[in-house]
Amino acid sequence: MNRGRPDRHRSHPSGEDATYPIARRASRLGALRLLAGDYPAEASRPFDQAQDRPFDQAQGGLAGRPARRTLEHVQLPFLGLLLAALFFGDLAMSWDPAQFKRENKEELRKKLTDEQFRVTQENGTERAFRNEYWDNHREGIYVDVVSGEPLFSSLDKFESGTGWPSFTKPLEPDNIVYRQDRSWFMVRNEVRSKHADSHLGHVFDDGPPPTGKRFCMNSAALRFIPKEDLEKEGYGEYRGLFEGTKDE
């Protein structure tokens, strides 16, 4: 149930305001300047400030070569790798649509269970109360079982009484597409994933506030990633959503 859970754009737990991701990006820009050679004056001071004299063998250098060497003259590959790890590591903790390649039906049959294939590829519907996530109360996110694209958050999950996992809104609206479904002699709004084109379920206008929507999803179309595994699974950017929350 969504019981007054914090908004995803709340202040950072450390006390910083919601602009803390911008500060991180500013640090990354600083790293780019460093890699490009745009160093501050103090970064160009000599490594050996005690005296400006040639390296000798006792110093581990070559005689006749000046000791005055600045960062501008040091081309160490590991410097770039180190900076990338320090400043850009969290960029790798997100799902990248450019890395996803859609597979054909034959490949998906090998990858998915029969139920997952029937639901996602053949627009099937699993049985109510007989599926994996209808009563899942753990904290985390739900991703497409085919592509891994982030779809929903446990922060927006609620007990609908229908027997299927239900949400008030998507975690990433850009990963959701809607189609009119006229099957079974009725008109419904079908919900599909944008990149994998998986059938997920339907959305209805009988949900709770604040959206009034009920995204009624099939568990077989989803994969749940608990909050403690987000970084390990490559979704570290969402870890901050669950700071200070506890599983029910």
Its domain, for residue 205, covers 97-242
Show pLDDT as tens, one digit a residue, over the chain (248 residues): 444 444 444 444 444 444 334 344 444 444 445 444 554 544 444 444 444 444 444 444 444 454 444 444 445 555 555 455 444 444 445 789 889 999 999 999 999 999 999 999 999 999 999 999 999 999 999 999 999 999 999 999 999 999 999 999 999 999 999 999 999 899 999 999 999 999 999 999 999 999 999 999 999 999 999 999 999 999 999 999 999 777 76
- Contact of 145 with 152, CB cutoff 8 Å: no
Domain end, chosen from 66, 92, 118, is at 92
Say which DSSP state 109 is in.
Answer: H
Is residue 12 in some structural domain? no
* Cα(210)–Cα(169) distance, integer angstroms: 9
Q: Are 40 and 143 part of one and the same domain?
A: no
Is residue 8 in some structural domain? no
Q: Which of 168, 122, 116 is nearest to 144 (CA)?
A: 116
Q: Are 162 and 84 part of one and the same domain?
A: no
Q: Are 105 and 73 part of one and the same domain?
A: no
- pLDDT in the model for residue 95: 84
Q: Are 158 and 218 part of one and the same domain?
A: yes
- Kindly report the length of the chain: 248
For 196, the token pair is 């994998």
Is residue 13 in some structural domain? no
Is residue 4 in some structural domain? no
Q: Are 133 and 215 part of one and the same domain?
A: yes
Is residue 7 in some structural domain? no
> Total structural domains in the chain?
2
For residue 207, the domain's CATH number is: 2.170.150.20
Is residue 15 in some structural domain? no
Q: Which of 89, 127, 102, 106 is nearest to 219 (CA)?
A: 127
Q: Are 87 and 102 part of one and the same domain?
A: no
Domain end, chosen from 74, 92, 110, is at 92
Is cis: bond before 210, omega within 30 of 0? yes
Q: For the chain, percent helix, then strand, then coil, each to nearest 5?
A: 35, 15, 50
Domain end, chosen from 76, 92, 108, is at 92
- The DSSP secondary structure of 183-237, one letter per residue, reads GGGS-EEEEEETTT--EEEEEES---TTT--EEEE-GGGEEEEEGGGHHHHT-GG
- pLDDT in the model for residue 80: 56
Q: Are 221 and 135 part of one and the same domain?
A: yes
- pLDDT in the model for residue 149: 97
Is residue 227 in some structural domain? yes
* Cα(234)–Cα(196) distance, integer angstroms: 18
Please state whether the predicted TM-score (pTM) of the whole model is above 0.75: no
Q: Are 126 and 31 part of one and the same domain?
A: no
Q: Are 224 and 101 part of one and the same domain?
A: yes
Q: Are 134 and 218 part of one and the same domain?
A: yes
Q: Are 143 and 164 part of one and the same domain?
A: yes
Q: Are 68 and 135 part of one and the same domain?
A: no
- 3-state class of 124 per DSSP? coil
Active site residue ranges: 216
